[in-house]
Amino acid sequence: MAAAAKNLTPVTLELGGKCPVIFDFLPSSDLKVAAKRIASGKWGACAGQACIGIDYVIVEQKFASTLIEQLKKTIKRFYGDDVKKLKNFSKIVNKNHFDRLRSFLEDPAVSNSIVYGGSFDDTSLIFEPTILLDPPLDAEIMNEEIFGPLLPIITVDNIEDSIDFINSKPKPLALYAFTKNENFKKRILAETSSGSVTFNDTMIQFVCDDLPFGGVGQSGFGRYHGKYSFDTFSHEKAILDRSFYFELEPRHPPWSRFKLEFLRSVYNYNYVGMLLLFLGLKRVSNS
């Protein structure tokens, strides 16, 4: 962006951020599907190393244990439960990033919040799927983009409190919400700001070419995908070609009250006023 600014080149900037999941109450059959979609969205996409990957989940305290148990079952089925024999799972991209993730857990209060996983293998740079329940909100893991396989679950008394929680953070690139409550969906759309919102799924918005992809605020600006990419990387040049007939004299000096009134009508898009002036049916103002 700094390099582009030197040459006055427009930029579409796609960043990331802490993309949340709002998890409302769901019946058992829907819960299983939701857990699959969260497990794939969090750990399936390069072990969480994706800009639109899930960063944390907000759920009501009374439903937290149910969600966690379902996630545990899904993780074991998708990836296994041995850090040295994980299947369908990506390693961390490099040692520096691996050490950064490990440093999150060096805070005793954070490591004490681990309810599943937490193991890692320095040799293979594998960090197993890890779930944390209510880590301290002032901890580094809750204030930096995780970009890895660590999933904090934050509990609230009422799921609608999630809106205030999300609004207290920088605007995310993607916001996911699992809910069948249509009124709650409307509140999420009306009262939060994010690059995109996906209801009852994760990551899938990225592959929809008919949807614009991009951030807002600290998660970026501009949009692309499909036709939006063509529009973003194109300049819409305005071209006007006129004839030499029908010259509007009120646009030229010398000025008069009539001409100034005409120009006021033009700038106010007052076409009726312009017509009335020409027909002599509108009084010219002295101001």
Question: Which residue numbers are catalytic?
Answer: 14, 51
> By 3-state DSSP, what share of the chain in percent is helix, strand and coil, each rounded to 5?
40, 15, 45
Q: Please state, as a whole number, how many other Cβ atoms lie within 10 Å of the Cβ of residue 199.
A: 16
Question: 78: which 2 tokens?
Answer: 């998708």
Q: Beta strand 150-156 with 130-133: parallel, antiparallel or unpaired? A: parallel
Find, among 192, 150, 187, the residue nearest to 173 by Cα. 192
Question: 103: which 2 tokens?
Answer: 């440093």
Which residues, listed in sequence order, are joined to residue 114 by a DSSP beta bridge? Answer: 132
Q: Please state, as a whole number, how many other Cβ atoms lie within 10 Å of the Cβ of residue 126.
A: 20
Q: Beta strand 197-199 with 175-178: parallel, antiparallel or unpaired? A: parallel
Question: 53: which 2 tokens?
Answer: 């990957």
Asked if residue 147 lies in contact with residue 97, where contact means CB atoms within 8 angstroms, the answer is yes
Distance between terminal CA atoms of the chain? 48
